[in-house]
Chains A and B, each alone.
Chain A
Amino acid sequence: MTTKTWSVPYGWLLLAPAAILLVGFTHYPAAATLVHSLFSTGTAVRPSRFVGLANYAALAHDPVFWQVLGNNFWFALGTIPASIALALLMAIWVNGKLPARALVRMSYFTPTVLPMIAVANLWLYFYTPQIGLLDKVTALFGAGSHNWLGDPHTVMGCLIAMTLWKEAGFFMIFYLAALQSLPPELEEAARVEGASRWYFFRRVSFPLLMPTTLFVLVNATINSFKLVDHLFILTKGGPDNASNLLLYYIYQVAFSFFDTAYASTLTMVLLLLLGAFAILQFQLIEKRVHYR
């Protein structure tokens, strides 16, 4: 039996409230960003005027922009593979025969429900020179006090460690779901054949978990560009932009330096990056469908 669907005007009518808000706060601002990136920032004496690609030329010559982009790259490289490995390890442990398994799983996942601002508050104290936990631990090994967040060489590592703590448990649940969907016969067969656990993981589980790994990979990449809240507490992008990330730099340019045209230009770069990741993600989803 075929069903009659409702007619045309109702569809758009139902959609209208959501559509107006979506256009107003997603599509319009995205388009306006592009337009504003082609104009100069207006001031009281000099109104905004069309400058073509001048803002993009300025961007190409802005050492801070390149530094920030580089930081984003290192931040992504430091957080993504490590959080994937950690999430996988956690999932395997929590999926195994572990006493008080629910408790362990809860403790891994807890950081996910905390706001990044609160996390930064908690971790700031670990990194404080002299009284912080990290300095106390290194003092046990005879090392002197160190300003972890004030040193350009260590600040990124500190932020990466904190982000791993915050994110690994979130990615764990995807691996956990994937592991639970693997047929148990596989493991039995491997045991009968005398395969070691490591061999089984390397040759059977890990390849079968590949779609999950790709999924986590893309999401972790997007997060590494979106997540800047902690910078407001821990470093403000410093010292000397050593921990600055693209979205935080956009915030600074727009709301501390009041250069909205240049902020729009920087936003365009971020939009292009996110767009590229999204295309990648859609392709991965297509692939995932093929697997089934």
Chain B
Amino acid sequence: MNLLEKAAAWLLAILWLLPLLYAMWAAFHPPAYATHLDALAPLTLANFEKAWGYAPFPRHFVNTVILVTMVLAAQLVLCTLAGFAFARFEFAGREIAFALVLLQLMIMPEVLIVENYLSMSRLGLVDSILGIGLPYMASAFGIFLLRQTFKTIPRELEEAARVEGCSWLGVLWRVYVPLARPTYLAYALVSVSYHWNNFLWPLVVTNSVNTRPLTVGLAIFGAPESGVDWSVISAGTLMAVAPLLLAFLLFQRQFMQSFMQAGIK
């Protein structure tokens, strides 16, 4: 690689960070300096304070955390059971059932917003955090990933556990789940990132502050017609992405590997 290419790679990297760096500049300086880059501009946290006050950020944070935790917990249980059934049980219609599960990989719940909204209103779950999470709890991707992982676990280990008198539940809990830990970690990272960032379905199914997650709150707050100034929007945006961004910066390699696994399937 010659010097020119190295410089280009670096330039692109700086360009790629520019939007975030610029938002940081605006967020940490008084609004007067938002468009005026001056190395001597005073630093301030006032924009964060304002953003925190303009929009009910604490509430949105709590909602997002509840949503993400609830979805992940349900996914881990449901996908483990289903993945185990597909990997190690024989039952009539298994192949067809598996094909039907995979269908969800292409028809994601956010494409079916119209019908799912009608279902939620029939169930009385409109404007509830459970309503946001429910369509995602049985994840085809999770079932698929765990089935593949469980299938690679040597049967001898299972035999040994059964000789010791373990029931199927014992075998699942003592043999399969511990050995699939890397898969669980990868899946959890992808799931948390996805639901932290998900927007369209939460927007459709919520209509009050008490249930709206961060992305929806951020959209209302950041819309041009809200009239909030740029420095405050930057501060709000940075607050909303900070937890995930920090996690990514700390565990980069793990994030990239998990996202890759998620993409390849």
Residues on A close to B: CB < 8 A?
Answer: 1, 3, 5-6, 8-12, 14-15, 17-22, 24-30, 32-33, 36, 90, 93-94, 96-99, 102-104, 106-126, 131, 133, 136, 165, 169-170, 173-174, 177, 215, 219, 222, 226, 228-229, 232-233, 247, 250-251, 254-255, 260, 263-264, 267, 270-271, 274-275, 277-278, 281
Contact = CB atoms under 8 A, between A and B. Distances in A.
Contacts of B196: 115
Contacts of B210: none
Contacts of A126: 19
A11 B81 contact: no
Given A11-B89, A15-B97, 20 more contacts: A3-B155, A8-B92, A12-B91, A21-B78, A22-B104, A25-B109, A25-B112, A26-B104, A90-B12, A96-B1, A96-B5, A110-B248, A113-B244, A113-B245, A115-B218, A118-B240, A126-B19, A136-B35, A254-B113, A264-B114
Interface stretch (B42-50, B130-138, B173-181): B130-138
A173 B254 CA distance: 12
Nearest to B135: A25
B248 A18 contact: no
A120 B218 CA distance: 11
Contacts of B112: 25-26, 29-30, 33, 267
B224 A107 contact: no
B90 A5 contact: yes
B52 interface: no
Contacts of A96: 1, 5
Contacts of B101: 18-19, 22
Given A104-B10, A226-B108, A267 B134 contact: no
Contacts of B67: none
B109 A26 contact: yes
Nearest to A276: B106
B200 A229 contact: yes
A106 B10 CA distance: 12
B13 A103 contact: yes
A270 B137 CA distance: 23
B39 interface: no
B130 to A, nearest CB: 12
Interface of B: 1, 5-6, 8-10, 12-14, 16-17, 19-20, 22-23, 26, 35, 77-79, 81-82, 84-86, 88-92, 94, 97, 100-101, 103-119, 134-135, 137-138, 140, 143, 155, 158-159, 168, 193, 196-200, 203-204, 214-215, 218-219, 222-224, 230, 233-234, 236-237, 240-241, 244-245, 248-249, 252, 255-256, 259-260, 263-264
A86 to B, nearest CB: 8
Given A18-B79, A104-B9, A113 B109 contact: no
Contact of B218 (A3, A118, A136): A118
B115 A33 contact: yes
Nearest to A197: B1
A5 B150 CA distance: 14
A165 B234 CA distance: 18
A193 B223 CA distance: 59
Contacts of A90: 9, 12
A215 B20 CA distance: 29
A15 B12 contact: no
Contacts of B23: 122
Given A22-B104, A118-B240, A254-B114, A173 B256 contact: yes
